[in-house]
Amino acid sequence: MKQPNSVPTSELMLRETASQTAGPYVHIGLALAAAGNPTRDEEIWNEMAKPGAEGELIEVVGTVIDGNGDLVRDAFLEAWQADANGVYQPEFDLKKPFNSFGRTATTFDHGSEWSLKTVKPGPVAHPSGQLMAPHINLAIFARGINIQLQTRLYFEDEAEANAACPVLSRIESPTRRQTLIAKREEADGKVRYRLDIRLQGEGETVFFDF
C-alpha cells in the first residue's frame, strides 16, 4: 500500500503521521478564548458538567511546571473521564449536563492555572476485572512538547481505591505514584482538587505510554 504523502513502502501497514509540537499558538485553534479571539457558537471547553449532572460537582485545577521550576503558561490540556457511574459518555453534546471530554489551558496571568468543572468520576473496570480507582485521563500539549504527554489524575480522598487500583499500583515507586494524586481543597463551599504537573526533574509526573 502506498504511504500517503510519501514514497511507496513495502510494509503492509501504514506508519502513523508523525507528531509535531502544538506550538505556542495552539490556543487560536483549540482554545479560542484563551487566545483572546472570538469564539464560535459551540466550543469544546472546560465546563464538562453543569448543574443537573449526576454526581458530585467538583473543580479540578493545577499548574504545569517545567524542569527549571517555572510555570508553563502556554500549555493546552485535554481531559477524558467516566461519569459518576464509571461509564464513559462518548457522545459529545453540549446540550447534555455532562460530557466525558473537556479542554482547558494554563493562563497567561500570574497564577497560570488550568481548570476543569466536572463531576467526580466513578470507578471503571480494568480488563482484569478489578476496578480502577476514579481517575481523569489528561493529555498535555505545549510548545516544546513534541508529542502529547499522557497522564492520569487520581483523588486524594480515594485512598483505599487508589491502593487497589491495578494501574496505579503497577507504578513501582510509591513516591512517583504520589505525583498522580490530586489534593482535596475546599474553597467557598466547593470541593476542588489540585494537581500540579511537573514535566521534568524533581517530582516529575508519571506519564503513560498506551
Partner 1 sequence: MQDHNKRFVERDRNWHPPAYAPGYKTSVPRSPQQALASMQQATASELTGPDFRHLRMGPHDNDLLLNFREDPSLSGAAGLPVGERIIMFGRVIDQFGKPVPHTLVEMWQANAGGRYRHRNDRYLAPLDPGFGGVGRTLTDEQGWYRFRTIKPGPYPWPNDPNSWRPSHIHVSVMGPSISTRLITQMYFEGDPLIPLCPIVNTIKDPAAVETMIGRLDMARSKPMDCLAYRFDLVVRGELQTFFENQ
Site residues for partner 1, 47-66, by CB under 8 A, read: 66
Nearest distance from residue 25's CB to partner 1, in Å?
4
- Near partner 1 in 141-200, by CB under 8 A: 141-150, 152, 167, 170-171, 176, 199-200
Query: Any idea of the CA torsion for 46, 47, 48, 52, to the nearest 10 degrees?
Result: 170
Nearest distance from residue 137's CB to partner 1, in Å?
5
132, 167 contact by CB (below 8 A): yes
16, 3 contact by CB (below 8 A): no
Quote the cell numbers at residue 205. 509526573
- Binding residue for partner 1, selected from 17, 85, 185, 190, defined by CB under 8 A: 17
Nearer to partner 1, 97 or 101 (CB): 101
DSSP 8-class letter at 98: B
Q: What are phi and psi of 152, to 5 degrees?
A: -130, 145
128 binds partner 1 (CB under 8 A): yes
- Near partner 1 in 69-98, by CB under 8 A: 70, 72, 74, 78, 80, 82, 87-88, 90-95
